[in-house]
Each structure stands twice: as structure tokens, then as C-alpha cells.
Amino acid sequence: MSDTSDISAPPPGEAAEVRAGVAEACADLAGIRDVLAGTPDESALDALLAAVRDGTHDDRAAALDALDEALQRAGDAAGLYEDTAARHWGVDRAPDQSGTDPGYGALPVTPRPAAAVFLCPTGSCSRRWLPTAAQAAPPSCALLGEPLRWERL
């Protein structure tokens, strides 16, 4: 079996790639801050946060490129995109196999059963959060501090 895929990665700067990059930064804020602490590029993460809060797609793309380069200059050879799949596609959110309530009790009640996913409040990031029995209340966005929005699956 080959390690390659016939599905190509989005070109740099395309919406999917930018959302994945923001998700990567969101998933590892503390680690990124630690790597950049005391370097001339220490403000690169703050520039990305500002671009997510108030910027355009192009602002976010430029801030991501600058953050990736800053991480590499600071000694992180892989830069921002290390282990992207494991972080933002939810390897840490494996389905609960215990058969207990998956934590959907906090969702608005409707006459039909619902499953939900919680997403970036601004749509700037491709991360998603699924409720589990251990953590039923959704976290806030790590970048903006706002509650995640939910969508029915």
C-alpha cells in the first residue's frame, strides 16, 4: 500500500489550507508560545490571532506563513504543519466505546434525535469538537475565547 494519495493537498493560500493552518495553531497555542518565547519572532502568534479576529482571508494566510517561518527559525524544523492530521482531525477525540451518553445533553432539545459537532465560531479554522461522556460541555475557542458554534450532523 502506498503512502501517497490521489487527493492533492490544497494549494498554499486556498481557504482549506488556511483553515487547516489556523486549526493547527489553535491546537498548539501553548507549544507555539514556548518555542517562540524570547525570539525576535515572538509576536508572530499574536499577529495570527489578530488576523483571525479582525483580518481577511489574505491576512490570515500571510500571518500563517509568517508564523510557520518564525517557528522554523526558532528551531522547530517542521514549523506549523507538523502532525496536522493527528491534531486537527481529532485523533484525541476517539469515539467513546463505553456505551455511555456521548454528552449531547447540553444541545437544544428537538423532537428528533440529533448528533452535533462543535465548530470554530468564526469559520476561520477547520478544527471540530465532538462531545464525549467525560467532557460534555464544549470548550471555548482557544484563539478567540468565544463559545464554539454547533451544527447538527
Annotate 95-132 with DSSP letters as a single string. Answer: PP-S-S--SGGGSPP-SS---EEEE-SSS----EE---
Q: Which three cell numbers stand for residue 31?
A: 507549544
Determine the pLDDT at residue 108. 52
| Cα–Cα distances in angstroms (integers) from residue 58 to residues 12, 42, 133, in the given order | 11, 21, 39
The mean pLDDT value for 16-43 works out to: 89
Determine the pLDDT at residue 43. 95
What confidence tens digit (pLDDT) does each residue in 56-92 have?
Answer: 889 999 999 999 999 999 988 888 876 443 333 333 3
User: Which of 19-23, 26-30, 105-109, 117-121 has the least mean pLDDT?
Assistant: 105-109
Q: Which of 22-36, 57-71, 76-90, 113-127 has the highest mean pLDDT?
A: 57-71
15: which residues sit within 8 A by CB, 6+ positions away?
Answer: 57
Cα–Cα dist 48/25, whole Å? 9
Determine the pLDDT at residue 27. 81
